[in-house]
Amino acid sequence: MNTVVIIIIFVVALVISLSFLLLVLTLIPAIQQFKSLLLDLEKTSIEVRDLARDMKRIGVMTEERLQKVDMVLDQSRRTVENAGDALHFISHNVLRRSAGLLAFLPAMKLGWNLVKKIKGGNK
C-alpha cells in the first residue's frame, strides 16, 4: 500500500478515535446527571404514592364526616318540620278558637285592678 493511503487511514482512525473519546467524555457527566435524575424521580414517586395514600385516607374520613353531617341535617329538618307543624296546630286550632276569650284578658285585668282599688288596694 501506498504511504499516503496509510497516512490518510491513520489520520482518519485518529480523528474517529478522538471523536469517540470526546463523545465518551461528554456523555459521562450526562449519564451521571441521568442517574441522579432517576434517583430523584424514584424519591418523588415514593412521595407521590404516600401523598396519594394520605389523600385516600382523608377522602374516606371526609366521606364519613359528610354522612354524619347529612344525618344531622336530616334530623334538624325533621325537627323543624315537627316544630312548624306544632306551631301551625297551635296557631290554627288553639289561638284562633280562643281569640275571642283572649281579647277579654285586658278587660278582665282592668276590671280586677278596679276591684282591688275599691277594696282598698294592696295591704
Q: Residue 105 corresponds to which cell in the numbers above? A: 284578658
Rg (Cα) of the chain, in Å, rounded? Answer: 49
Which pLDDT belongs to residue 92?
83
Confidence of residue 91 (pLDDT cuts 50, 70, 90): confident
95 and 102 in contact (C-beta within 8 Å)? yes
Which pLDDT belongs to residue 86?
92
Q: Among 76-80, 98-102, 116-120, whose mean pLDDT is lowest?
A: 98-102
Measured distance CA(63)–CA(69) in Å, rounded: 10
pLDDT digits (tens, 9 = 90+) for 46-87: 999 999 999 999 999 999 999 999 999 999 999 999 999 999
What is the pTM (predicted TM-score) of this model? 0.48
122 and 116 in contact (C-beta within 8 Å)? yes
Give the N- to C-terminal CA distance of the chain in Å, as an integer. 152
